[in-house]
Amino acid sequence: MKKLYILITAALFLVSCTKRDLLPVEIDVDSWMRTRDRGVVVLVDYYTGNYIVDTYRGYAVVESWSGIPPREYDLEYALFTMRGVQRIYNYSGNYFLEGRVVDYWLTWPQALDLLDALSYPGGY
């Protein structure tokens, strides 16, 4: 009887350890946008996919990591006041993309120089 109990317990344990992908978590876009900065794409380098975003604190330069670069005048939401790779929501196109905020709180000439530096090999 004790062996049967151990066998059933082991079987239940092994059945519960199946390998499967987790389903994507549904994101409430409205509440997600409320916790992020708002910015407008003002210039896109369509060759590399990198672009400049105008925020209320200055300009931010974003290096695109996904295959869909935004278009000029697209409205985007992300943490533009924080460097690093993050998820960016393009409100105009209604899609998420991955990008790296290279720098923020820039003036227009600084943002243009940084975008040029990213476009060339050995850049920033």
Note the pLDDT tens digit of each residue in 73-98: 999 999 999 999 999 999 999 999 99
Q: Mind listing the pLDDT tens digit for each residue in 44-63?
A: 998 889 999 999 999 999 99
Query: In this structure, what are the phi and psi dihedrals at residue 61, rounded to the nearest 5 degrees?
Result: -105, 130
Residue 72, pLDDT > 70, answer: yes
CA distances from 115 to 12, 63, 83 (A): 56, 9, 15
Confidence band, pLDDT 50/70/90 cuts, at residue 23:
very low
| Domain ranges for the chain | 27-119
